[in-house]
């Protein structure tokens, strides 16, 4: 991944260009002087519940207390 570092003052005049770079896969770091302050990233697509219904199962006792051996480190 290509990274571009831009001073915040310069970014104010280049915002449309920087957004295009981010959407194309370039990581853009905004700095104040030599100090990195912000990383521009694209907004993630929203997750939709139920798309993979049944792909993961949980046992009936998943929240049951763990045995003492677990907590004491016994083999």
Residue recorded with tokens 């792909």: 55
Q: Is the per-residue pLDDT at 74 higher than 80?
A: no
Q: Is the distance from CB of 64 to CB of 57 less than 8 angstroms?
A: no
In the DSSP assignment, the letter for residue 64 is S
What average pLDDT does the structure give for the chain?
A: 91
Residue 31 lies in a domain: yes
Domain carrying residue 1: 1-42
Q: What pLDDT digit, counting tens, does each position of 34-63 carry?
A: 999 999 999 888 888 888 888 888 899 999
Residue 51 lies in a domain: no
- pTM for this predicted structure: 0.59
Residue 70 lies in a domain: no
Say what percent of the chain tops pLDDT 70: 97
pLDDT at 75: 66
- 30 contacts: CB under 8 Å, gap ≥ 6: 6, 7, 8, 11, 36, 37, 38, 39, 40
Q: In total, how many domains does the chain have?
A: 1
Looking up residue 37, the CATH number of its domain turns out to be 3.40.1620.10
Residue recorded with tokens 């853009």: 28
| SS3 state of residue 67 | coil
């Amino acid at each position: 991944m290509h990274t571009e570092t831009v001073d915040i003052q310069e970014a104010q005049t280049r915002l449309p260009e920087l957004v295009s770079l981010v959407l194309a896969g370039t990581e853009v770091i905004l700095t104040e002087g030599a100090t990195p302050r912000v990383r521009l990233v694209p907004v993630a697509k929203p997750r939709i519940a139920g798309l993979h219904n049944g792909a993961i199962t949980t046992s009936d006792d998943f929240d049951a207390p763990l045995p003492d051996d677990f907590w004491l480190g016994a083999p």
